[in-house]
Amino acid sequence: MNIDTELNANDQLIIKQQNNTLVLNFVFIKNMETLEREYSLHNFEMYQSDYQRNAVAINDKQNSQSIAITQTFEALQQGAEID
C-alpha cells in the first residue's frame, strides 16, 4: 500500500479519504527467533465518516418475536400444524 503510517495503540491503521474511512485491524505474533512482532491483517471496517446510526427500538422487535413464539408453542401443544 506504500503507506508509512504507524499502527495506533489498538493495532489499527486508519485511512481517511474524503468522506470515507477504512480501518484495518491487525493482530501480531511474536517471532520466537527474532523476538519481533509479526503483524497480519485480522479484519477491516469501511464506512462513511459522517454516518449517523438511527436509534432502533430493539425491545419492540423482541416483544413481537416473543409473542409469535408463544403463540406458535401454544398451537403446537394443541396439535395444530404450523406452516
Can you give the pTM of this predicted structure?
0.55
pLDDT, tens digit, for every residue of 2-55? 778 889 999 999 998 899 999 999 999 999 999 999 999 999 999 998 877 777
How far is 1 from 7, CA to CA, in rounded Å? 14
Q: For the range 68-75, what are the long-range contacts, defined as Cβ-Cβ under 8 Å and sequence gap of 24 or more?
A: none
**Closest C-alpha to 16, from 48, 52, 51:** 48
Count other Cβ atoms within 10 Å, centred on residue 26: 16
Alpha-carbon torsion (9, 10, 15, 18), positive or negative: negative
- Ordered by start, the domain boundaries in the chain are 12-77
